[in-house]
Amino acid sequence: MKFSIDRQDQYTILTIDEEKLDSTIAPEVKSEFVTLQAEGVENVVVNMSVVKYSDSSGLSALLVGNRLFKESGSFIMCGVNEHVMKLIKISMLDKVMDILPTQEEAVEAVMFNEIEKGLREEGGEE
């Protein structure tokens, strides 16, 4: 398997276990995002600490995940390598995607977003 899944109550961590996020793995990653959404997952953290290289198909897979989860929850990438980050910035995707340095920070951000969402829902019911 080219990635691993760690399911928690409030979020799921997808860790990409390949150095290259390219056309050989991108379709599987996209498919996993669709599967997770179909299973009711709302918050995804993508740990990219192993990834050293990405091409446009890899970025496309990440954009699919961002689009699927951002509307109802969170999609946060973490551990992004310097080379991959340059590509993300050149593509201006850092403006539309949430990227944090560590998995711990990403999980904290998900939990914060969940608390905010809960408060908004409570406020809307009154």
Sign of CA dihedral 28, 13, 40, 85: negative
Q: Output the pTM of the full model.
A: 0.93
What pLDDT does 120 receive? 85
What pLDDT does 1 receive? 59
How many folded domains does the chain comprise?
Answer: 1
Per the structure, the complete domain to which residue 96 belongs is given by 3-125
**Under DSSP, is residue 3 helix (H, G, I), strand (E, B) or coil?**
strand
Confidence at 125, pLDDT banded by 50, 70, 90: low
pLDDT at position 53 over 90: yes
pLDDT at position 126 over 70: no
User: What CATH number does residue 92 fall under?
Assistant: 3.30.750.24
